[in-house]
Amino acid sequence: MKSFLQYRTEINLHEMSYAQGGDKFEEHLFGPDYDKEGNVKKLGGTGLDGYLVHPKTGKTVGVEAGLHSKDFQQGRFHIKDGKHSHEAKNTGFKKYLDTLQLDGSKETGLHNHLMGIYGADHQPFSRERISRSTGQTKTQKFNASGSAAFNQGETHITHNDVDDAVNTPYNEAGKHLIMIDGIGAHHTGTHDHLDVPKFAVRDDAKDGLRMRIRHKNGLGAIGLNISKGDYVKHEPTQTREGMINHFVNQGYKFSRTPDGVKRTHLNNSGYAGPTDHLHILEDE
């Protein structure tokens, strides 16, 4: 299925950053993230955030979790030798970008649309800026694609197809549930038996699933996000406690890994959050 979309270009002087607290939400649900030796790892990445584990049946369900401001997909765009290109780690999302069609355009593929929006006459440059973390002046380098987004403004492509851009790629990658703090839990196409709705946006959504093309740290970046008011909320799982109880009442436990959380690793991590809902493996 091909999507016919609308785009608009605008300059945004203040970059949106993923709100602090996403890692705390994941930790609240699944416990701390750690390696095989029990050392706590930095949260983030493109893998699964956690699992539902059914101790009696051994069944596991992969989960993507975060705040309402999260990026559901990420990628990069490039300008080289007079041409645009794009990339994404998720192969399903890469396919979506390859076949993207916009309302009012005869072109196919994000790279071709960006050529029409930005052109290819952009050069790398550097500028001074104040570091948010240190308050010190630092030099920010921009490549050609980052230069295009910085000089001409970021582009928003609205009303992207949720199934093609998120649900199908997620499901194929083993992400069967999406849990958004304050919004609720949703399945991505194959787990409606867990009594949650399929992930979607409101029928009257203003922007729906929005693709944001911008510069990030001086590089051309692609992200997919949803404004808070455009989500379809699931009231029983909107709160963290409600989300946990909804699945615990179905016999599931929460875990960072499909095997469970070792008691020693949990103790050594310094984790002080709730544990009754975690699938904890007692030490032998």
Mean pLDDT of 58-76: 96
Which of 166, 4, 175, 171 has the alpha carbon at shortest distance from 93?
166
Could you report the per-residue pLDDT of 82-98, keeping only the tens digit for each?
999 999 999 999 999 99
Domain ranges of the chain: 20-68+234-284, 70-176+205-230
Q: Report the distance separating Cα 39 and Cα 1, nearest Å.
A: 44
Please report, for the chain, how many H helices and E strands are present, in that order. Answer: 8, 16
CA 12-18-21 angle, to 5 degrees, is 145
Contact in structure between 184 and 243 (CB atoms under 8 Å): yes
The answer to whether residue 10 scores a pLDDT higher than 80 is no
The answer to whether residue 176 scores a pLDDT higher than 90 is yes
Contact in structure between 15 and 35 (CB atoms under 8 Å): no
184 or 36, higher pLDDT: 184
The answer to whether residue 35 scores a pLDDT higher than 90 is no
Global pTM?
Answer: 0.89
pLDDT band at 38 (very low <50, low <70, confident <90, very high): low
pLDDT band at 284 (very low <50, low <70, confident <90, very high): low
The answer to whether residue 273 scores a pLDDT higher than 90 is no
Side chain identity at residue 31, one-letter code: G
The answer to whether residue 8 scores a pLDDT higher than 50 is no
62 or 138, higher pLDDT: 62
pLDDT band at 133 (very low <50, low <70, confident <90, very high): confident
Q: Report the distance separating Cα 25 and Cα 230, nearest Å.
A: 21
C-alpha distances out from residue 11 to 19, 113, 167, 214, 272, Å: 21, 18, 30, 9, 43
